[in-house]
Structure 1
Amino acid sequence: MNGISEKRQLEILHPDRLPGGKIRAAIFDFDGTFSTLRCGWEKVMRPLMLESISGGPASEASEALQREVDDYIDASTGIQTVYQMRWLAQRVEAACRGVPGRDEWWYKDEYNRRLMEQVGARLARLERGEDRPEDYLIAGAAAFLQALQAHGVEVYLASGTDHGDVLREAAALGVADRFTAIKGAPERQAACSKEAVLRMILDEKGLPGGELLLVGDGKVEIALGAECGAFTLGAATDEEARHGVNPVKRERLIRAGADAVTGDFADLPALLGWLGFP
């Protein structure tokens, strides 16, 4: 449990600010919060960045560059991939290692190519029935989703991953039809899909922030939810084990201002109790 006991999995950080059973809509992040199909993406992005900036093998990059890249990946977790690749393209140019034609979209395509070597294999096993959806879902995620819907909450799925990929992965996990709507990043567009979903719910549905719940493992979405007055549940997930608390994520989410933090969704009574649902 990485030094954090099961009893502390749900931590209510702002006991003076509780949902009180008023949540009418919820937005879930996908990768790392709900799904672990893309577990290990950092291990793909890191060497790409180090190789591109240094011009040599990732293992030979300076300690200073390694720290810079690690800090950036940590700080940018949760944003749309193309923005991370825009940073990379700018950093490559600053290092005087730019190559004609290698813009943010080129780096995004290369990152996706590398990432899909492992994600594609997982998807193929799922779609052939060799693996089960439970093998790639955070513990209790599907049951928590169902419980929210049973209490009349409309649940949306938002992701910085390309929209088509999110649809395929949600379908492979058997949850695509359980959401009111699924929104991934638009193809070849730099647009914040999570913010777009938030604005749609707040503006088009006319919901005040106090009736909205945002669930995510990245500080970007937690900060965005807090900014609009929504209640935020930080998912400090251990993506390899699919249960328990990741202490690095936990600290990140606490700093981002989460109202509560959990390692997974297995303790439904505690989660529903915090939300104020009987």
Structure 2
Amino acid sequence: MVSGKQEGRIKAVLFDFDGTLSTLRAGWEETMVPLFKEAIIGSHQLTAEQSSELDQEIAGYIDQSTGIQTIYQMQWLAEKVKEKGWNPEVKGEWEYKAEYNRRLLLHVDERIRGLQTGKYRPGDFLIKGSEHILELLHQQAIPMYIASGTDHPDVVNEAEVLGVRHYFKEIAGAPVGRADCSKEKVISDLLAQGDLQSEGLAVIGDGKVEIRLAKENGALALGLASDEDKREGLNAVKVERLQAAGADWIAGDFTDTAQWMQWLGLDAELE
């Protein structure tokens, strides 16, 4: 999984957010799966075989679409409801997204309230070692960016409550009410900067979307196969996904600071 040490000093680092730095939204799949199944089936009665096949189809799609903007996942849902024809009530993708966000935010908002009241600490929802690596990059004046498929105001707010917002030169989430691909835009904008060559950019993420974009643009692609429940160690499913996307190197967390800094072509001595 290791392609070799980064040639030269990294000039900028682009992070994915959910699952890469933050675990505030951990468990989103458990929210999306039942929503998808309910919307597709409606009141229709499936056979055991049909139910099993649908479960596999939904799980397969969610796995391969991890990292894209939520609205695209909801477009798939709307098309699938029409295709199956079991549920006569076919809603638009924005309606499905609103219901998904409502359900997901029941859990996320509880965690945010806990952070605001002192019930939780930011470290309870950050991948282990992330605060240290961000501080080291900050000390070495490396510009850092976040690109996320989550709605922009939510990403900014969640970075704020986790105490990491100040590290980032720019945070780009999904534009509210628009189906733009924020990750592609941020990476393209970075590469368009006159003083930044593609080999000077590192992209760190737990989804195949950002890893694929990094490889397509000649950037260093570092996979973060995080176990979001433990916040450390490797998630085998993510390892396989990131390997398939072509990640140059894969880790489960940021605790091995020296190794991370080596791959970024930076000193790990500043503390």
Q: Which bin holds the TM-score, normalised by the shorter protein?
A: over 0.9
The equivalences for 1:74-153 within 5 A come to 74-96=63-85, 97-99=87-89, 102-153=91-142
* 2:223 counterpart SS class: strand
**C-alpha displacement at 1:150, in angstroms?**
2.3
Deviation string for 1:42-98 (max 9, x for gaps)? 000001111111224999761111111000000000000000000000111111225
Alpha carbons 2:129, 2:254 under 8 Å: kept: yes
Q: How far 1:149 sits from its partner (Å)?
A: 2.4
Q: Which residue does the alignment assign to 2:243?
A: 254
Aligned partner of 1:42 among 5, 29, 38 = 29
1:209: how far off? Answer: 1.2
- Partner Cα distance (2:165, 2:265) in 1: 27
Aligned residue in 1 for 2:18: 31
Work out the CA distance in 1 between the residues paired with 2:194 and 2:252.
30
Q: Which structure 2 residues correspond to residues 49-68 of structure 1 after superposition, within 5 A?
A: 49-56=36-43, 62-68=51-57
2:147 is aligned to 158
Of 232, 250, 263, the match for 2:221: 232
Q: Mark the CA change 1:56 to 1:262 in structure 2 (over 3 Å): closer, same or farther.
A: farther
Contact 1:51 1:57 in 2 (8 A): no
Alpha carbons 2:6, 2:262 under 8 Å: kept: no
- Looking at structure 1, the residues matched to 246 and 68 of structure 2 have their Cα atoms a distance apart, in angstroms, of 17
Q: Structure 1 residue aligned with 2:58, among 69, 72, 82?
A: 69
Distance 1:73 1:167 in 2: 24
Q: Distance in 1 between matches of 2:45 and 2:216?
A: 37
The root-mean-square deviation of aligned C-alpha atoms, in Å, is 1.7
1:104-138 per-position Cα deviation (integer Å, ceiling 9, x unaligned): 00000000000001111001101112100000000
Q: Shift of the alpha carbon at 1:176?
A: 1.1
Contact 1:49–1:69 (Cα < 8 Å) also in 2: yes
Give, in whole Å, the separation in 1 of the partners of 2:98 and 2:62.
18
Percent identity, aligned pairs only, is 48
> What secondary structure sits across from 2:196 in the alignment?
coil
* Matching residue of 1:203: 192
1:183 is paired with a residue whose SS is: strand
8 A contact 1:22–1:210 mirrored in 2: no
Displacement of 1:276 in angstroms is 2.2
Which range moved further: 50-59 or 62-71?
Answer: 50-59
Q: Is the 8 A contact 1:19 1:211 kept in 2?
A: no
Does 2:271 match 1:269?
no
Q: Which amino acid aligns with 1:241?
A: K
In structure 1, the gaps of 5 or more residues are 1-10
Q: Under a length normalisation based on structure 2, what TM-score does the superposition of the two structures give?
A: 0.93
The 2-side partners of 1:208 and 1:93 are apart by 45
> For structure 2, which runs of at least 5 residues remain unmatched after alignment?
none
Q: How do 1:175-194 residues align onto structure 2 when only pairs under 5 Å count?
A: 175-194=164-183
Partner-residue secondary structure (3-state), 2:149: strand
Give the match's secondary structure for 2:204.
strand
Q: Match of 1:55, as an amino acid?
A: G
Alpha-carbon shift at residue 146 of structure 1 (Å): 1.6
